[in-house]
Structure 1
Amino acid sequence: MPAPAAGTGSSASAVLRRQRLRESAARTYARSFPIVPVRASGMTVEGADGRRYLDCLSGAGTLALGHNHPVVLAAIRRTLDSGAPLHLLDLATAEKDDFTTALFESLPPAFADGARVHFCGPAGTDAVEAALKLMQTATGRSGALAFTGAYHGMTAGSLALTGNVAVKEPLPGGGEVVRLPYPYGYRCPFGVGGEAGAELSATYVERLLDDPAGGVVPPAAMVLEAVQGEGGVVPAPDDWLRAMRRITAERRIPLIVDEVQTGVGRTGAMWAVEHSGIVPDAMVLSKAIGGSLPLAVVVYREEYDGWRPGAHTGTFRGNTLAMAAGAATLRHVAANGLAERAAVVGDRMVERLRALAGELPAIGDVRGRGLMIGVELVDPAAEPDACGARPAAPELAVRVREACLARGLIVELGGRHDAVLRLLPPLTITDEQAAAVLDRLADAIAAAAA
């Protein structure tokens, strides 16, 4: 690590102190990473004290190309220099037209053909709200089907769909949401794990929806993630996803897939639905589609386009810079095969992490898809359950995160009890950087466990 630059440490301390005094108690990442970033490039973040870090958080998956990628910066500079208006509500612009073209070119053809796009407020949760409202309008129904472990955002409707109780506790019911079991092999809700657990989940969903005494009123939509991110990096089996598509289609229940974190090559395909081949009724997109700037959209089948003018609007739906940066990002990922690269590098990282689990018993499970990887930490001294899973070790996970930061690695936590180390490096990660991430992570786990 470079030595701290003269005079910067005290100013960084002052910034952190003022942040603690003036920001709300709800701040999160600032608590986990008490650093003041001043420069960033690719996967590297430099703090005010001169220390450099490998960033495996990537803006919670927003930075598909890493920090300040030349393609993104060029698109932003080009737009600024052109004199284009930066804010135009939802008026037609060349930048919006180009972004929409790039987006539709990136989508699975069977979904893109005849699809419509709605530009939402700037965050993924806005797009989730819009998608749910769209389907409520189209079906005349109000309820929804959602899953254990789900995370869909922090606004009221999105929170109702979210599974994490901790962020929902102060709120009233939040609407009629039926919670269904998501297939989670390591901590199977049915206590069997593996393919059998996923099959039981599908059977349960189908029989519950068909049970006239099951208590489920016909819903406006089913909302799911192909890989749960905040829920602990839990990939849904492809067969299970195909079963959900069949079940919803047969019962005329619109299927909304939340691709906010999984999209733009993150899972080893441009969009996570491509692994299973399912064609949803709507996809919710945000994070990486804005090329690091705020942007969120819903893309849906045109038969659901029943809104009247102004039925769902918002001030910040015309972020010109985000559209320019997003179009450049989508095209760069496609032209350079970065989704395929994510699949290859992700497989290598998972393979090494699973080998590491044989040396470090605190690693209970390693899972993921592409460059969306989770390492679940457990208490190795505790008795395993029926599926062989030991109790989560959240205190250990906090120590590992701190040990990673001390070694120049930014890694965040998620999952049940916040005991899952989540790796979301940019798709541009090099082989050398991937090796450095795994070396530092292994050393941090060993040190923290000891």
Structure 2
Amino acid sequence: MTVPPSTVPPVALPAQATAATVAADAILRRQRARESSARTYARSFPIVPVRASGMTVEGTDGRRYLDCLSGAGTLALGHNHPVTLEAVRRTMDSGAPLHVLDLATPEKDDFTDALFATLPSGFADRARVHFCGPAGTDAVEAALKLTQTATGRSGLLAFTGAYHGMTAGALGVTGSVAVKERVAGGGAEVTRLPYPYAYRCPFGVGGEHGAALAATYTERLLDDPAGGVVPPAAMIVEVVQGEGGAVAAPDSWLREMRRLTSQREIPLIVDEVQTGVGRTGAFWAVEHSGITPDVLVLSKAIGGGLPIAVIVYDEKYDGWLPGAHTGTFRGNTLAMAAGAATLRFVTAEGLSERAATVGARMTARLDGLRAELPAIGDVRGRGLMIGVELVDAEAPSDSCGARPVDAELAVRVRAACLDRGLIVELGGRFDATVRLLPPLTITDEQADAVVDRLADAIATVSKDAAQGRQA
């Protein structure tokens, strides 16, 4: 397979582009001067979006980009989809209250109906829903508090490579050391367990054997009276680690986690903030393995692009007192309306199946490029949650065949993608994995363009790097 040439023609900017560029530069300068040093995406993408539709984002200079970030997975239907816009307009025109704390409203009732209709078989029949603050991290906090209250325990089981949010409890169960080491108490009372990661297997064997060893290690650690693990309040896990680099857990391993937690009466929390609403090729990622969690943590795409977060859990854990987990912004009427419309549209249009089909095709094309682009160390993921790990192609490989990551190359590839009109972000260990999170409405032509542009960026940056080493 040959590496396709760039499919991005020279952009013919309108006459007013120069003035628009000057204005955009001024906006970016003011942002740098006034916003905190914790800015993230704004550093990676020095553009000023002014319009967006579907997968396309347009900057002030008129240049258009294919958005493979989708609000970090929030925009299941892409930007400004007619279904969500109509739901928002209808709600606004109806005179419905837009802020109601946790009062019952027709919009909340309809959203709950739409959400419960999508839940795995058997789960909805005994489920309760709690509306949290509008971010996924607050829903993680709620899930942890719920299980701690129900069990009377405090310890937690979490995994290497995990990402669950930036508030105190969520940060404790997150795997990244960099975001925790300067925060007092960032480690929390958490036992860290090995997540199966075939390309960089923690046991150095990879594949199904590595996943089986991870499961065996977990079970023996929990049963070891000298293992140091006090019976925990919960285990929290992602079916596919998003920020961790699009690392998908084997279905068999997830079933083992469900078995061992059930046998030991440890509540199982599954964080589907990024994997939910069709992203992985099933409406909820747990459906691939057939497991039923005790708690589902949901946010991002469930609001149709607007902020909302909930936990859905087995009613046997509903031992909270009134006000046990509260917050002002739990009644976002517009998000409920947009979310209900999105949930129903994804179901009616079969977008989960579409994500599985298109994602498999994109992954296969990218994997086929590895022979000609040795900087591509691994291609992985599930559905439209894809990771391309970039490595030092000249370094020796380890026992699993993995070469060292090349974080500098990844940063340059991200910039080269932006030059080609493609927005991608990095994740994984050392931020060396290019992550693809396109909307579920991506067309075949757009999918091909994404792969073409990414491949061209990798080829060009790799060539430049090789020439630089020879100079």
CA distance in 2, matches of 1:310, 1:407: 50
2:90 corresponds to 1:84: no
Which digits, 9 at most, give the CA deviation of each residue in 1:100-136, with x for residues without a partner?
0000001112211110000000000000000000000
Note the aligned Cα RMSD (angstroms). 0.6
Question: In the alignment, which residue of structure 1 is the partner of 2:222?
Answer: 209
Question: In the alignment, which residue of structure 1 is the partner of 2:399?
Answer: 386
CA distance in 2, matches of 1:5, 1:380: 44
2:431 corresponds to 1:418: yes
- Aligned AA (2:102): D
Which digits, 9 at most, give the CA deviation of each residue in 1:397-432, with x for residues without a partner?
000000000000000000000000000000000000
| 1:305-344 matches, cutoff 5 A | 305-344=318-357
Q: 1:302 aligns with which of 284, 300, 315?
A: 315
2:39 corresponds to 1:14: no
Question: In the alignment, which residue of structure 2 is the partner of 1:69?
Answer: 81
- Aligned AA (1:124): G
CA distance in 2, matches of 1:140, 1:68: 45
Q: Do the aligned partners of 1:152 and 1:159 also contact (CA within 8 Å) in 2? A: yes
CA distance in 2, matches of 1:151, 1:111: 25
Question: What SS does the aligned partner of 2:198 have?
Answer: coil
1:4 CA drift (Å): 4.8
Gaps of 5+ in 1: none
1:5 CA drift (Å): 5.1
1:172 CA drift (Å): 2.4
Q: 2:409 aligns with which of 386, 391, 396?
A: 396
Question: What SS does the aligned partner of 2:389 have?
Answer: strand
2:211 corresponds to 1:198: yes
1:160 CA drift (Å): 0.3
| 1:359-370 matches, cutoff 5 A | 359-370=372-383
Question: In the alignment, which residue of structure 1 is the partner of 2:126?
Answer: 114
What number of residue pairs does the alignment pair up?
A: 450
Question: What SS does the aligned partner of 1:310 have?
Answer: coil
| 1:365-376 matches, cutoff 5 A | 365-376=378-389
Q: Do the aligned partners of 1:267 and 1:342 also contact (CA within 8 Å) in 2? A: yes
Question: In the alignment, which residue of structure 1 is the partner of 2:49?
Answer: 37
1:76 to 1:2, Cα distance in 2 relative to 1, 3 A: farther
CA distance in 2, matches of 1:93, 1:310: 19
2:177 corresponds to 1:177: no
Deviates further, 102-111 or 245-254? 102-111
Question: What SS does the aligned partner of 1:402 have?
Answer: helix
Question: In the alignment, which residue of structure 1 is the partner of 2:13?
Answer: 3
Q: Do the aligned partners of 1:5 and 1:50 also contact (CA within 8 Å) in 2? A: no
1:40 CA drift (Å): 0.1
Which digits, 9 at most, give the CA deviation of each residue in 1:376-410, with x for residues without a partner?
00000000001000000000000000000000000
CA distance in 2, matches of 1:4, 1:49: 8
Which digits, 9 at most, give the CA deviation of each residue in 1:355-383, with x for residues without a partner?
01111000000001000000000000000
Question: What SS does the aligned partner of 1:422 have?
Answer: strand
Task: Spell out structure 1 runs of 4+ moving beyond 2 A.
Answer: 172-175
Gaps of 5+ in 2: 1-10, 464-471
CA distance in 2, matches of 1:402, 1:447: 12
2:281 corresponds to 1:268: yes
Provide the TM-score with structure 1 as the length reference: 0.99
| 1:139-288 matches, cutoff 5 A | 139-174=151-186, 175-288=188-301
1:331 CA drift (Å): 0.2
Which digits, 9 at most, give the CA deviation of each residue in 1:283-332, with x for residues without a partner?
00000000000000000000000001111100000000000000000000
CA distance in 1, matches of 2:205, 2:132: 41
CA distance in 1, matches of 2:371, 2:238: 30
CA distance in 2, matches of 1:136, 1:130: 10
- Identity score, percent: 79
Q: Do the aligned partners of 1:5 and 1:49 also contact (CA within 8 Å) in 2? A: no
CA distance in 1, matches of 2:242, 2:79: 21
CA distance in 2, matches of 1:323, 1:248: 33
1:5 to 1:16, Cα distance in 2 relative to 1, 3 A: farther
1:2 CA drift (Å): 3.8
Q: Do the aligned partners of 1:2 and 1:52 also contact (CA within 8 Å) in 2? A: no
